[in-house]
Amino acid sequence: MRVGRSAKAFYLAVVKVFGGNIQQASSTWTDLRYPHVHVVCQAYMIQAGSFTIVTPLYLDGSIMQYGDAHPSEKFHLIQDAASGLAYLHSRGTSHGNIKGVA
């Protein structure tokens, strides 16, 4: 599925399978809107007790790859990540393992 209105449109990709309450997680994560929080476009139940999320696939690679290609931006990336975490916490939202993917 392609979304967007310009040449910089992105493609959606399923990125993770979870266990738990899909209704609670779906409504929580799909309602979050903040510049430094990864967008969850949709959540789907794939079997009883498991669901998957659909998020944008960023063609510039992971945050680790971006940081390596733009070393002067690393401090700002850390600030942005901290800002995103503060937003999640202010909304009472929990998060799992946070890491860059090389």
User: What mean pLDDT do residues 47-68 have?
Assistant: 78
End-to-end Cα separation, the chain, in angstroms? 25
What is the number of other CB atoms lying within 10 angstroms of the CB of residue 87?
16
Distance CA 4, CA 24 (A): 27
Token readout for 22 is 């899909």
Domain ranges, ordered by start, for the chain = 11-90
Q: pLDDT per residue over 19-33, tens digit each? A: 666 566 666 777 788
Let me know: does 102 contact 65? Beta carbons within 8 Å: yes
Q: Which pTM was predicted?
A: 0.65
Closest to 98 in 3D by CA, of 44, 45, 37, 42 = 37
Secondary structure class of 99 (helix, strand, coil): coil
The predicted pLDDT at position 7 comes to 46
Distance CA 9, CA 74 (A): 25
Residue 9: partners with Cβ closer than 8 Å, 6 or more residues away: 2, 3
